[in-house]
Structure 1
Amino acid sequence: MSRIDADDWIPVEMGSDVLNRVLQTSAVEAVGRHENMRAAVYDVPRYGAATTYVLNKGDEYVDDTTLLDNVRLEARKFTNALVVAEEDLEDANADILSTHMLSAATSYAIHFDSAALGTTAVANGKTVPFTSVYKSVASGNKLASNAVTYTNLSDTLALVEGGQYWSDADTVIVAHPKFKSVLRGIVDSNGRPIFVEGLAGTPSTLFGYNVAFSFGAITSATASATPGGAGGTTAGAAGNPLLIAGNRQHLIVGDRTPLEWRLDESVNARTDEPFLRMRARKGFAVGRPEAFGILEVTKSA
């Protein structure tokens, strides 16, 4: 096997299979508002509620008293490492490194969404990297039910549709995949399905709003690549599936360094075992918690 020159971290290219896997798996990465972080701790302005006035000719302008404040993003490092024997790389029929990179990208995507959407504690920087949407949103904007119905789905949207941060153009719904089977069977009073699954790259919709599915949309005490159990699919005692509706502009994703990898053969120089490392440094914050409504299913959907 010829030596690979990989002394530097190599960013995953736009359009690559690995990055596409992240965007397909992470709802927050795909639909959130991305901010380029120029430092490990970075403040970004969040949208306020500006007021306009009507004046007569010659009247003085009225000062807007909207509070212009910031949201703080703190970069957290998500990592993966693989040690593999050179013989396995030479003899295997499959491309071990590419296969592992895709698998690690999937795990990262779920882990990031779990941290951003469903963790139930205040951020501590490690096991709970960020204060999630679930933790940020006040109880008045949450509904809990042991079943998914037309009424409580509509009521979840109603929690925020009349609020000052609602925007039809920026509305997105993020739900755990366990909602799919239930949503397919719900119709309105005219017998029309409220959920339409996307085909050929078009997004799925619920009540006409784009909906994305994420295994991270489930309650969890700590962030994990398998929230709620193996594969992130177990509900009940291990976690309650969530449906989150709101304004995507307030799902703020901080991009400090992109998903990148490095293959290093010098680490294990006394053995024939290259060392593959992957990392991404990301931040996340909720802009306005009032911009979201949550339906929490307290038993399996």
Structure 2
Amino acid sequence: MARNTFEAWIPEEFDSAVIQRVNQMSAVEAIASPEPMSSNSKSIPRSAGVGVSLVDKGGAYSEDVSANDDLTLTAKKIGKAIRIAEEDIDDSLANIIATKQADWATSYAKFLDNATLAVSAAPGTGVPFASVYYTLTQADSGLGYGANDNITTAASGGVTYDDLSAVLEDVEGGDYFDLSRMVVIAHPSYRGTLRRIKDDQNQPIFVRGQQGDAGSPDTLFELPIRWSLGCRVSATATDAPTGKPILVVANADFLRLGRRSGPESIFIDGRDGLSALTDESILKMRARRGFALGHPKAAAVLVGI
């Protein structure tokens, strides 16, 4: 029997339409600190810092007693299979496979951002990672962090200037603030809110970026903003969250994204022995990712209404 199949997963090239779509849609994929993974799990050393003290002339140096630990990234598979009728492939003027790959990239981007930033539950069924939002709701005495210390919740009247100032202050007041690496990730619904808020000099705090080849990003209090449709609170990871929109302020170096493989795809031709009775081909797409917030004091979240 004649067959026409690909026998291995084909990784997307860096400049492919799929990768470009993912980077455009996913804030985490685009700006998080990448961590290559060659196995299912990987431990990353986490330094507790090093203190300093005055040393008298001829005196002994005191030894640092900061307690170091580590983070563990565990790769989780995010994927989907699509059945495509041979007639659609043969008869359509459009490239059905390329269209479906781009559609998957959009959904993957929203799913990844939701899973890493906005899921409210602990890792388990339907929850691949401890998201930024979940991590900030949990106390960690070893790191000197109290539950919800870095979470600001808007009142029923909506997000205010003070809310935005407070969420930035949560990070600015800690040891993990680095102006060159700070980013804001927010749901696009914040755009309308931010356009209406001005400072005490009646100047807008939200500045739209200049578009074009040499364009600049949108900014909030001079920090670059990335917009993400995944930034809505949800109980489990999803590519269509419907909960309250959130705004995340974080040091990008502490958004640790493990990359085990992908995005990649495999095409199973409908003319092979398994699918011969259906005249359908199967396109499978996947990526394997791990995620952890490096330190709870390196991020803060504003929950909208």
Match of 1:38 in 2: 38
Structure 1 unmatched runs, 5+: 229-238
1: CA distance between counterparts of 2:4 and 2:54? 67
3-state secondary structure, aligned to 2:149: helix
Amino acid at match of 1:80: K
* Equivalent residue, structure 1, for 2:86: 86
Moved more, 277-286 or 179-188: 179-188
Task: Report whether the alignment pairs 1:217 with 2:231.
Answer: yes
1:241 equivalent in structure 2? 245
Counterpart of 1:141 in structure 2 is 150
Count of residues paired in the alignment: 286
SS of 1:163's equivalent in the other structure is coil
SS at match of 1:184: helix
Q: What is the deviation of 1:63?
A: 2.0
Correspondence for 2:27: 27
1:292 matched to 2:299:
yes
Q: Distance in 2 between matches of 1:205 and 1:216?
A: 19
Question: Which of 234, 237, 241 pairs up with 1:227?
Answer: 241
Superposed CA deviations along residues 85-110 of structure 1, whole A, max 9, x for unmatched, are 22211111111111110000110111
- State which of 173, 194, 210 in structure 1 corresponds to 2:205: 194
Distance in structure 1 (CA, Å) of the matches to 2:104 and 2:262:
14
Deviation of 1:62 after TM superposition, in Å, equals 2.9
* Alignment of structure 1 residues 48-67 onto 2, 5 Å: 48-56=48-56, 58-67=58-67
Letter in 2 for 1:292: A
Matches within 5 A, 1:268-287: 268-287=275-294
Query: What 5-or-longer segments of structure 2 have no aligned partner?
Result: 137-146
Q: Which amino acid aligns with 2:130?
A: T
- Residue of structure 1 in register with 2:70 after alignment: 70
1:49-71 Cα distance to aligned partner (Å, 9 max, x none):
32234435544433222222111
Tell me how far apart the structure 2 counterparts of residues 85 and 47 of structure 1 sit (CA, whole Å): 53
In the alignment, which residue of structure 1 is the partner of 2:129?
130
Residue 75 (structure 1) shift: 0.7
Identity of aligned residues (%): 40
**Structure 1 residue 4: Cα displacement:** 5.0
Of 144, 169, 172, 2:180 maps to 169
1:144 Cα deviation after fit: 0.8
Structure 2 CA distance for aligned equivalents of residues 61 and 35 of structure 1: 35
RMSD over aligned Cα atoms: 1.7
TM-score when scaled to structure 2?
Answer: 0.89
Letter in 1 for 2:150: N
Q: SS where residue 84 of structure 1 aligns? A: strand
- TM-score, normalised to structure 1, is 0.90
The one of 152, 171, 196 aligned to 1:185:
196
Shift of 1:248: 1.1
Measure the CA separation in 2 of the matches of 1:123 and 1:76: 11
Report the CA distance between 1:180 and its aligned residue: 0.6
The structural deviation recorded for 1:76 is: 0.5
Report the CA distance between 1:271 and its aligned residue.
Answer: 3.6
Amino acid at match of 1:135: Y
Distance 1:258 1:59, change over 3 A: farther
The alignment partner of 1:134 has SS state of helix
8 Å contact 1:118–1:218 — kept in the other structure? Answer: yes
Aligned partners of 1:96, 1:23: CA distance in 2, in Å? 22
Mapped contact 1:174–1:244 kept (Cα < 8 A): yes
Q: Secondary structure at the match of 1:187?
A: coil
Distance in 2 of aligned mates of 1:35 and 1:6: 29
Greater displacement, 68-77 / 258-267? 258-267
